[in-house]
Amino acid sequence: MHQNDLPLGLDALSWVDVADRIARDPRIIVPIGALDQHGAHLPLGTNVLIARSLALDLSREFGVLRAPTFYYGTNSPVSNEYVGTTGITAKTLHLALNELLAHWEDRGIGEFIFITAHRYEPHVEAIAALIPRRARMRVVQVWDTPVDDLLDQQDTPLHADEAETSVMLYLYPELVRMDRAHDCDVTPKQFRKYLDGRLKNPLVEGAGSFGRPSAASAEKGRAIYQRFLNTIGDAIFRTPADTASDSL
């Protein structure tokens, strides 16, 4: 295998190859997931799988190093009522990522690109509050990308819904159980409470989903996923470093 054809994951490279890559391009993509319930029809690792897929595709396209996916994030208290959902506190997440960041920075990483598909606000805030000493840091919460126009039965993306289920049908159709999908219409106020942790009781009628997963399709998922790639690519990788935003 030619040197330029080597994989870009840290877990697939020797330290010699990593040092060579960093000398040429000091950036690293760090996908951060969460083991969180996504209704009865999607796997607990939905946020892990979407973030990892984006990191792999962006790493390949732009030739940037990629860290192994960090599987555990901070979950909403109501999500923790579901069997198998496993998370860590925002403080623990912040401390763990800060240790990794400091280690990588000491060994030459000059720019961190954190990618997460988990929308719970304390989770995102724990990542955004990381403090590199010298390196630049960008945080991408992928659902900040506008995709409302790609949906048929929802005004905006929710959770385990038309949008997220569509992306999973496109990326991992073998893991989706559409026969178990339950629609659950929620008010903007209810969903806001879910995102910031104030929703105390599960909405039983949705079996953990919010929105209209029954309206999902792989075709919509392909369009949404491609928009993620294009938007992140334009904001982070195709824009000159001195004008690029530190968040998406």
Which of 85-99, 181-195, 231-245 has the largest mean confidence? 85-99
Helices and strands counted in the chain (H then E): 7, 4
232 against 241, higher pLDDT = 232
For the chain, which residues make up each domain, given as ranges? Answer: 17-232
The predicted pLDDT at position 203 comes to 64
CATH code for residues 17-232: 3.40.50.10310
Distance (Å, whole) CA 172 – CA 179:
16
**65-66 and 27-32 beta bridge pairing:** parallel
The predicted pLDDT at position 205 comes to 59
pLDDT tens-digit series, residues 193-209: 888 878 766 665 568 89
Distance (Å, whole) CA 145 – CA 230:
10
The predicted pLDDT at position 238 comes to 83
The predicted pLDDT at position 2 comes to 38
The first and second tokens of residue 198, run together, are 């104030």
Report CA Rg, the chain.
18
pLDDT tens-digit series, residues 17-48: 999 999 999 999 999 999 999 999 999 999 99
Is 57 exposed, middle or buried (CB count within 10 Å of its CB: 0-12, 13-18, 19+)?
middle
pLDDT tens-digit series, residues 73-126: 999 888 878 899 999 999 999 999 999 999 999 999 999 999 999 999 999 999
Using a cut of 0.95, tell me whether the model's pTM lies above it: no
Instruction: Average the pLDDT over 157-181 and give the result.
Output: 97
Which alpha helices (H) appear in the chain, and where do they start and end?
15-24, 46-62, 90-106, 121-128, 162-171, 188-196, 218-232
Say whether 136 sits in a helix, a strand or coil.
strand
pLDDT tens-digit series, residues 65-82: 999 999 999 998 888 788
